[in-house]
């Protein structure tokens, strides 16, 4: 069956495919269809007779030979991609497929041209984003391993090579277990599967430890953070692996340091407790034993007195009186010392209503309070867990001191308050007495330390030492704030015990 040449021409000139016939030797355009001419923004007539060099495609006799040979050898060349600059400066990408056709002893290219500009742009974008992804991957501080659903390593970054001491190609296509210690590999497989079942960004290794394995089989602790990557080829998992050897080492050192510290504190506390006990024991025994010779002294002084009665020996009487006074004072000191050493020996914690307690104290001190006309105010004192006898002694001492160290010409006011804060119950006992100089505010809490002579104010200097011991027995602290001439406020904290 034969067709008239017109049918072939009609097919050639028709769209939608761009077609062109070129002379192999000269590169001259023999014919084009309208589709191609429009693409070039020219008419057919403008194109025919030009060489393809004039269309911006470099075509030299040498290239002509090469291309034609290629065309003949392969029975046509397919999809050669090239960039064209059109009239007006527009840039397009085309894919050209051609055959070398012989006709009347001459050779021609019969080419079909496809506009692939859009596809090329998409490819370009894809290339850029792939490039970005790769840069991101390579600049990440962690080893990043991308694993396929089968658990095979698809991609790694340079950190992975460094961390595990493998070359990239030694890891790609291998199971992820290559990089995980075998004793954890099983658990890890379970993790990976369940992760793939419900993938979301999350850390791994919480609750159990994961180990990385280097190419020489040495292990190191790691932290792994997984995130899902949805791709055309399916769900991938990106694992960011961090070597936490240093962190672990630091944690271990801190733990060890803590244990040592705790041991030292315990040891020190035990030592202090023993020392304290020894001191208390010493004070107790000493004060107990001192009483005996003291009693002997005073009974012999009594005997001497009786013997000298009625005799004119005045000087001896005065000396004897001094001895009696001194031994009385010593008696008081010994009694105080004994009391001090007894604090906290046998007491039990109980609920103490501080309001009631204060009432008892003021009842006991009624005589002194009434004598000086002291005004004592206390509202809403709390019920606390405390050593009752000791707490009573504490209030007793502070109130007695406020009475003792009042200003003679000003009516005495004592204000007692309690507030609760983060440390426990914070009590204050404030007076408008003579006050205490700043430089003495620590000294006054030391046993037998006083700021006045006995002639000015009576006392042995043990009251505040008692107070300190009592507050510390409760685990609290005591201090004073004062303005000389205006008054003192004693603060103490009784923690919740």
Binding site for ligand ADP (CB under 6 A): 397, 401-402, 404-405, 431, 433-436, 444, 450-452, 459-465, 488
Judged by CB, which is closer to ligand ADP: 20, or 480? 480
Judged by CB, which is closer to ligand ADP: 323, or 447? 447
Judged by CB, which is closer to ligand ADP: 389, or 489? 489
191-196: long-range pairs with CB below 8 Å, 24+? 192/147, 192/151, 192/237, 195/226, 195/228, 195/237, 196/149, 196/228, 196/235, 196/237
Please report the DSSP string for 184-195 in residue order.
Answer: HHHHHHHHHHHH
Q: Whole-number minimum distance, CB 408 to ligand ADP, in Å? A: 13
3-class DSSP state of 290:
helix
Judged by CB, which is closer to ligand ADP: 163, or 464? 464
**Beta carbons within 8 Å of 323's beta carbon, 6+ residues apart:** 297, 301
Alpha carbon distance 316, 313 (integer Å): 6
Q: Whole-number minimum distance, CB 366 to ligand ADP, in Å? A: 19
Judged by CB, which is closer to ligand ADP: 162, or 452? 452
Alpha carbon distance 111, 98 (integer Å): 4
Judged by CB, which is closer to ligand ADP: 71, or 433? 433
Q: Whole-number minimum distance, CB 290 to ligand ADP, in Å? A: 19
Alpha carbon distance 42, 69 (integer Å): 30
Measured in Å, how far apart are the chain's first and last C-alpha atoms? 115
Residue 436 C-beta-side C-alpha neighbours within 13 Å:
23
Judged by CB, which is closer to ligand ADP: 22, or 401? 401
Q: Whole-number minimum distance, CB 426 to ligand ADP, in Å? A: 18
Please report the DSSP string for 212-264 in residue order.
Answer: EE-TTS-EEEEEEEEEEEEETTEEEEEEEEEE-HHHHHHHHHHHHHHHHHHHH
Q: Whole-number minimum distance, CB 424 to ligand ADP, in Å? A: 23
3-class DSSP state of 106:
strand
Q: Whole-number minimum distance, CB 284 to ligand ADP, in Å? A: 20
Alpha carbon distance 270, 276 (integer Å): 10
Q: Whole-number minimum distance, CB 461 to ligand ADP, in Å? A: 4
Judged by CB, which is closer to ligand ADP: 450, or 474? 450
Q: Whole-number minimum distance, CB 341 to ligand ADP, in Å? A: 16
């Amino acid at each position: 069956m034969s067709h008239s040449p017109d049918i072939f021409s009609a097919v050639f000139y028709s769209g939608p495919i761009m077609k062109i016939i070129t002379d192999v030797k000269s590169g001259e355009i023999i014919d084009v269809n309208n589709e191609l001419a429009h693409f070039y923004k020219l008419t057919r007539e403008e194109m025919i007779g030009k060489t393809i060099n004039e269309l911006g495609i470099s075509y030299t006799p040498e290239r002509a030979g090469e291309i034609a040979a290629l065309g003949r050898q392969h029975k046509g060349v397919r999809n050669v991609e090239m960039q064209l600059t059109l009239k007006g400066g527009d840039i397009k990408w085309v894919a050209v497929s051609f055959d070398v056709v012989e006709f009347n002893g001459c050779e021609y290219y019969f080419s079909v041209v496809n506009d692939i500009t859009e596809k090329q742009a998409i490819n370009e974008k894809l290339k850029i984003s792939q490039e970005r992804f790769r840069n991101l991957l390579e600049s990440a501080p962690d080893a990043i391993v991308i694993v396929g659903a089968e658990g095979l390593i698809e991609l790694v970054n340079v950190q992975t090579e460094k961390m595990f001491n493998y070359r990239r190609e030694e890891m790609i296509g291998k199971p992820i277990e290559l990089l995980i210690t075998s004793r954890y590999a099983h658990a890890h497989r379970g993790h990976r599967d369940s992760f793939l079942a419900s993938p979301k960004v999350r850390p791994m290794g919480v609750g159990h430890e994961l180990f990385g394995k280097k190419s020489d089989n040495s292990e190191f602790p790691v932290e792994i953070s997984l995130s899902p990557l949805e791709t055309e080829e399916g769900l991938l998992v990106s694992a960011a692996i961090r070597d936490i050897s240093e962190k672990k080492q630091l944690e271990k050192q801190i733990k060890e340091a803590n244990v040592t510290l705790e041991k030292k504190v315990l040891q020190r506390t035990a030592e202090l407790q023993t020392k304290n006990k020894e001191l208390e024991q010493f004070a107790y025994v000493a004060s107990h034993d001192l009483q005996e010779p003291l009693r002997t002294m005073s009974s012999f002084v009594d005997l001497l007195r009786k013997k000298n009665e009625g005799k004119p020996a005045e000087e001896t009487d005065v000396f004897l009186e001094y001895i009696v006074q001194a031994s009385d004072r010593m008696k008081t000191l010994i009694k105080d010392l004994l009391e001090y050493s007894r604090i906290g020996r046998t007491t039990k914690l109980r609920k103490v209503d501080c309001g009631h307690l204060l009432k008892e104290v003021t009842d006991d001190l009624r005589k002194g309070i009434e004598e000086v006309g002291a005004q004592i105010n206390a509202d809403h004192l709390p019920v606390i867990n405390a050593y009752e006898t000791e707490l009573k002694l504490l209030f007793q001492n502070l109130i007695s001191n406020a009475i003792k160290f009042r200003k003679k010409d000003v009516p005495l006011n004592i204000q007692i308050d309690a507030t609760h804060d983060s440390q426990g119950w914070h009590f204050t006992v404030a007076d408008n007495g003579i006050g205490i100089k700043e430089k003495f505010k620590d000294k006054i809490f030391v046993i037998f330390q006083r700021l006045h002579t006995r002639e000015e104010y009576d006392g042995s200097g043990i009251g505040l030492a008692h107070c300190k011991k009592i507050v510390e027995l409760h685990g609290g602290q005591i201090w004073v704030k004062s303005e000389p001439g205006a008054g003192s406020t004693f603060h103490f904290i009784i923690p919740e015990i």
